[in-house]
Every structure is written in structure tokens, then in C-alpha cells.
Structure 1
């Protein structure tokens, strides 16, 4: 109760806030989940990789071009959240990360990766899988507030980016069976209204309401 009160009154920080809806099946936004639109939705190291196509429109498919492989043997491509350091998470949650589009398109994938960051945006640790033909399922560690999903390529080439999914819970069986949840995103919200009052007829219970408006800029 006190936490919600402080949140609504912006006592600890000005906001915005994240809402982790357990019914959300894909935290990646709609166009990004389909591999479409502005390449700035992804991050990579200049000189190693480039993306083409999406700069011409939100509905245009992107292709990934791996141009140089460094001595480490891996070229990283990360999925950016439109507002925060990464996708908001809470310690103890389970996440499923997969890029079946790249797998189906024959990309030279060596790793699936999730990087964990604290609330200040400081890197904590990384979890990875060297079997990208199957989803990576991981538990959010202590102190983590954000997850940054990524992949690692092992060879030069050009491939359509295609579909990706970052899901709450273990969705690996459903994804391997062919499910492809539409990207719903994980928006930032501003609290515009707050109500907190005893329930009519029984003061032991409270009616609590939060009015949220999505932050788009």
C-alpha cells in the first residue's frame, strides 16, 4: 500500500513506471518483434554488422549483414527497449528469449544472450545459450531491473531478421510447437490518477485505482 502511494506521488523518482502484466506474451514491440522498421531499435558495433530495409518504413522488413567477425568469434546484435536501458523485469521472474526468424532463415547464430542490468543501468551479468535452435529460458537474478536480449553471429553473411520473442515465463514448449505471440511491447507509463479508499461496508479492505497514460516521447 505504502509503495503504491509513494509511486503515485512520485516521492522516490519522477517516473515513468513499468507495468509487468503477467498476461503479456511478448515484451518486444509489434514491428520490432517482426523484424521491421527503424534499425535504431537494435544495437550493434559499427564495422562488424549493419542492418538494411527498415529505414524505409515501419512495415519494411530488415536484413542483417555481418561484415566482419572479430577475434572473439562473435558479432553481437541487441534488441533495444524504446525508453529504458532494457526490458523491465523483476528478480525471480522467468523469461524466454528466442529468434526463430533468424533460425529459420539459416543465420550463422552461435549464441542467444540476455544481459542483466540494475535500476541505474549498470551491467550485472549475462546468461547465454550455445544452442540457438531452441529458446533460452532464464531466471532474473537479484538486483536486476532490466533485461537486454541479444544474439551472437559466428560468420559473415546476410539474412532476413524475421520474428523474435521475449516472453514472461517458460514458453519454450509452445514456441517449439509453432506458437508466435504477437509483439505487445512493454510501454513506459505515467501515473495520472490515484485513488485509495475503504471498501464500502467493510473497512478491512481497500479499493485502489491507478490511472496510467503511455509515455510516447
Structure 2
């Protein structure tokens, strides 16, 4: 099963919300605008990278959880971006990363070799030596935020024919704490003090281009055979609005969040 409860907070201070939202809207802001010519033709423009938006509404939210959301909305912990681990998401890679597509900024090659992107956005790696490492990059954080007690799974189409998968474990500063053993599929509990995980493949020597193909990064979910689910991401977010209506013994709250391009909020 994917994560079954929602976790929210600054990386390293994620807190689970045990009360289920009565309304849960995660529609992306695709930003499509239509222009109609005098002849009747329609032209559209859209955002190149539509930001995620998330609205959570709670009725009868317990006090401890309401105080937590209130603190996040009022930036009690400073101008930091928030991580949200959403229930039901099977693949937390970006959609393009999960399918081996560009942009190239979604990847980092350590050691010899080269990454190339085709006109169809497919990414390939070539010219590597044994020991070169391909990393998947989170767009804002040093890696993908995790929380104690949740196992992490990772696999890539490159394994095992072109290399082996590893998970790098990072602290709050993005510095390495260690790595998992290399294997075609990794599924394990990160060590203590892990704030982020960074998926990677330790590559073999590749003289000819090899497409990256699909990849799967999961939270508390074994990576299973079959089609790799398209990634839904785990972007850095910030609270854009909220309402707080105290009731006797509980509170009714609505919190709206939007994806941000910087991990500093």
C-alpha cells in the first residue's frame, strides 16, 4: 500500500494528520488560456510546468492537528517550504523523471559519461565508465523528504542490465549519511536522522547510448512487477490561504497550498 495518511511540515519535522480531510482537491494549475480569432480559430497557451495546488478541508479537526496547521500557515518555523506526503501516491518522482524524459536538469551524472535528450524528450546515457553514477534530482530539495518509520523503494529500467540501484540517505543539510546496498530493487527503512533520500544507479561501462527508461520511487510501498506508475511528484509547497473556525472541542479548517520553485518558501 502507498502512504495511507497525509504527512505535512518542513522536511525533518513532518507530522501525520490522523483526521481525514472532508474535502481533498489536488488539481494542477495547468494555466491554459484560449484566444479566438475573428475567423473562429482557437489558439491556446499553457504553462510549461504547471504548479501543483492542494486544498484540504477538515470538519471537526482535533486541536493538536489544528494547531499544527495553524503554525504552518503562520510560518512559525520561518520562511521554509513545506513537504507534503500525500496518501495514495505510488510514485513520488516527477512525471517526466518516472518515464525517463527530460529536462536534463532532472538528473545528475557523476563521473565520466554524457546525458543526451532527443527531440521527443527521451533521455539517454552514454560513454560511462564502471563506477559512474546517475542521480535523480528533486526540483527544490536536496532529495525526496521522508519521515521515520516509512520504508522507501526504488528501481529503474537501467537495472540490472546497465547498473544497480542505490538510495543515498541525506541529513537536513543534504549531506550524506550513507547509502543502501546496490541491487536491482531497493526497499528498506532509511537509517536514523535521514531527512531526504536520493535515488541513483551505479552504472556499468556503457559505450553506446542507453535510454534511462522508467523509474519508480515509492514511500512505504514495495516496488511491484508490471507497468511503472507515472510519477506525481512531491514538490515543495507553501500555504497560500487558510481559514480557522473554532468549535467546542475541535476546529473546522481549510488550508490551500501551492507548489513553489524555491525550497526556502
Q: TM-score range by the shorter chain?
A: 0.7 to 0.9
User: Could you say which residue in structure 1 is the equivalent of 2:116?
Assistant: 52
Decide whether the 8 Å contact of 2:117 with 2:124 is kept in 1.
yes
| TM-score when normalising by structure 2 | 0.68
Gaps of 5+ in 2: 1-63
Residue 6 of structure 1 aligns to a residue whose secondary structure is helix
* Residue among 115, 122, 145 paired with 1:88: 145
Q: Could you say what secondary structure the match of 2:180 adopts?
A: strand
Contact 1:30 1:184 in 2 (8 A): yes
> Does the 8 Å CA contact 2:168/2:199 hold for their aligned counterparts?
yes
Matching of residues 160-175 of structure 1 within 5 Å: 160-172=211-223, 175=224
Cα distance between partner residues in 1 of 2:213 and 2:107: 13
Shift of 1:5: 2.7
Distance, in Å, in 1 between the alignment partners of 2:88 and 2:172 is: 23
Out of 114, 125, 128, which is 1:64 matched to? 125
User: Residue 10 in 1 paired to residue 75 in 2?
Assistant: yes
Structure-1 separation of matches of 2:109 and 2:88: 31
Three-state SS of the structure 1 residue aligned to 2:126 is: strand
Q: Between Structure 1 and Structure 2, how many residues are aligned?
A: 196
In structure 2, the residue matched to 1:142 is 192
Q: For the residues of structure 2 that align with 1:180 and 1:67, how far apart are their CA atoms? A: 26
Distance in 2 of aligned mates of 1:163 and 1:148: 16
Q: Could you list the runs of 5+ residues in structure 1 that have no partner in the other structure?
A: none
- Normalising by structure 1, we get a TM-score of 0.82
Asked whether 1:127 is paired with 2:180, we answer: yes
Partner of 2:30: none
Partner of 1:191: 239
* Structure 1 contact 66–75 (Cα < 8 Å) conserved: no
1:25-82 deviation per Cα after TM superposition (whole angstroms, max 9, x unaligned): 1111111111111212111225x1211125x5xx42111113333xxxx211000001
Mapped contact 2:128–2:204 kept (Cα < 8 A): no
Counting helix residues as a fraction of each chain, which structure ranks higher?
1
Structure with larger Rg? 2
Runs of 4+ in 1 over 4 A off after TM superposition: none
> CA contact under 8 A between 1:66 and 1:153: conserved in structure 2?
no
Superposed CA RMSD in Å reads: 1.9
- Deviation of 1:206 after TM superposition, in Å, equals 2.0
Whole-angstrom CA distance in 1 between matches of 2:82 and 2:72: 8
